[in-house]
Amino acid sequence: MGKVRRSTLVGLTLLLMGVAGCKVSCTTANISSLKFSKDEKGTIQTKEFAPNDTVYAIATVSNNAGKVTLKFSLIAEKVQGLPENAPQPKLDMSTDVQGSGSQSYYVTPPSSGWPAGRYRVEVTMLYNGEQKDKKSDTFTVTGGMGGVAPPSPAARTSPPGGTSESEDNGNDSENSSPHDQH
């Protein structure tokens, strides 16, 4: 009888240690959707944009009881004047998300407009620095300036009226930039 209780106690202890450890490194949080819109609230959903449109990507995080980080990246998949699948690292943006909900990322067009072609937005969800989910989708720009590549923009993560954090000290206000909307 003592051996059964002892092994049960050891088993329960290991189980509780596993559950306690899971609270540190496990999550069921996920990116449940990624949509494109012509407005920050997501009411004008589309996957086709004009050269001078601001592009909004809205990611929805579900089952998030804690804090996760979303990293948004823009890739020029097949765009006039750019190599195929060209990352646009100056437009990358990371933001922390507390709980479930939606997070917006947007990029404004360069002064000459977006070059025509297909672009991809990738959203990677990190939990404690480890990738837990990833979603991507594409949008198209039609009627863009043929063969004109977008400038190298300064990346800023600032909501309207907020303070700006710049990864590049370029201060050209006409450059494309990502922003996070809370």
Fold annotation for 27-181? Immunoglobulin-like (2.60.40)
- What pLDDT was estimated at residue 21? 47
What integer pLDDT is reported at residue 164 of this predicted model?
Answer: 34
What pLDDT is stored for residue 143 in this prediction?
85
Q: Cβ contacts of residue 151 below 8 Å, gap of 6+?
A: 110, 111, 172, 175, 176
**pLDDT truncated to tens, each residue of the chain (182 aa)?**
556 566 666 566 555 555 544 445 578 999 999 999 999 999 999 999 999 999 999 999 999 999 999 999 999 999 999 999 999 999 999 999 999 999 999 999 999 999 999 999 999 999 999 999 999 999 999 985 544 444 434 333 333 333 333 333 333 333 444 554 44
Residue 3, classed as helix, strand or coil, is helix
pLDDT confidence of residue 176: 46
pTM of the model: 0.70
Decide: residue 7, CB within 10 A, 0-12 exposed, 13-18 middle, 19+ buried.
exposed
Task: Using alpha carbons, select from 143, 140, 167, 136 the residue that is nearest to residue 153.
Answer: 167
60 and 32 in contact (C-beta within 8 Å)? yes
- DSSP annotation of 160 reads T
* Domain boundary assignment for the chain: 27-181
Region label for 20, one of left (φ > 0), alpha (ψ between -120 and 50) or beta (otherwise):
alpha
* DSSP β-ladder status, 86-87 and 67-79: antiparallel
Tokens linked to 77: 């998949």
